[in-house]
Structure 1
Amino acid sequence: MNSASVARTARPNVWRSVILFLSIVGPGIITANADNDVGGILTYSQAGAQFGYSLLWLLIPITIALIVVQEMCARMGAVTGKGLADLIRENFGVKVTFWCLLLFVLGDVGNTATEFAGVASSAPILGGYLNLGNAEALKIALVAGAALFVFLTVTRGSAKV
């Protein structure tokens, strides 16, 4: 057996192990980057400018707490087959569920507003890079385009991966 045939037979095993590794680690990488949006980056920048490295030690207990909460939520969803609203309603009643979901919706609306504000704030940078004169028109076009993209994704898109 020559070395070329050995390399050919070893290559699929390498790709298989890479794909297996990415399928296991991939959701964790996506979850870890979930909060790296405009509002998060602004908050991280301000906290870093104000406190420097003095809060760095908090990463360890916060990471442990995040792991515990994520694990509990995943297990509750896997075991019961129900979402968060169903579990809150079953344990605390309809009134508490209503107020919790109202707070969730307000948080989502605020997060969406920061996303569109980030798109609008990128217009002068993009306009200067592309030598476009009217930054206000570019802001309107970028925000309208982003809103249209979100609308079409939500109404016509699919959640299937």
Structure 2
Amino acid sequence: MPDMVDSILDAWRRELPEVAGIELELSKRAGRLHALLSDAARAPLARFGLSKAEYDVLAVLRAAGAPYRLRPTDLTARLLLSSGGTSNVLRRLHGEGLIIREADPGDARSTWVQLTAEGVEIAEASALAGAEAQRSLLRDAPAETARAAADALRELLLALGDHG
């Protein structure tokens, strides 16, 4: 059964076949999967009054483990945001009382960003809600198909040099 990407590929095959290679197919299918999963996770964020960028910062800090803190440069790198974009999000989260910013006693040029107790609660609740929304989206996909897709994507990313 054709999916949305097949119609895009068919159009390129008619118009400019050199463009319709595996690179376009992978790009479009990965992008479509990302969009579907992101949209599912984004919907519950409204209940928490969070934007996607705010959620991402809270989630990265929560996933860092206790004491739930990182340097802003580490956040920027993990989130693939610009430093200005990260600063704007941090300013909003600080204003909401979800994070604190502290000077690094060991390095006067550096600071730490840390979740407050309320920030930890919101990060956990929103992460659980987002995961449940994504699970719900995937409910009709066979578990072995999803597992095989995730494993194949890992292998491809590693082959492209994307090592953790």
TM over 0.5: no
Task: Decide which structure has greater helix share.
Answer: 1
> What TM-score comes out, normalization by structure 1 length?
0.26
TM-score, length-normalised on structure 2? 0.26
- Asked which structure has the greater RCO (Cα within 8 Å, sep 6+), the reply is 2
Higher percent of residues as strand: 2
